[in-house]
Amino acid sequence: MDNDKQALATDELSIIPLNNNWYQKLASNFEIIQSYLNKLDTDELEVNDLKNKFDDISGKMNVYDTNMQAIVNILSDYDVPIAIVDGKVVDTTKEGE
């Protein structure tokens, strides 16, 4: 599909003599519409692909967060002074101890 906008010949479709020119303009309208429908189909596929990638990354992040929390819990059981604060593993010892 061209980047140039194509105009539909709808303003001329009301002319009553249904000659060959009228049918050509009508066919041209359908060609223009079809090109936009094809573009919409392509865009929908791209959006679905991006959504699937996002869902995959989101799932991996959930696994990462769960694993990180499990590691912190295990280390905390052994009195390692760490915790997860704002999504980051931090040392919980106070300065000067």
* Both tokens assigned to 51: 């959504």
- Three-state SS at 15: coil
CA dihedral sign, ordered 78, 79, 85, 88: negative
pLDDT tier at 11 (50, 70, 90 boundaries)? low
- The mean pLDDT value for 55-82 works out to 87
Whether 36 contacts 1, CB under 8 Å = yes
Average pLDDT over residues 66-86: 84
Q: What is the spatial distance between Cα 15 and Cα 26, in angstroms, rounded to a whole number?
A: 12
Residue of 66, 13, 1, 74 lying closest to 39 (CA atoms) = 1
pLDDT greater than 70 at residue 13: no
If you average pLDDT over every residue of the chain, what do you get?
Answer: 79
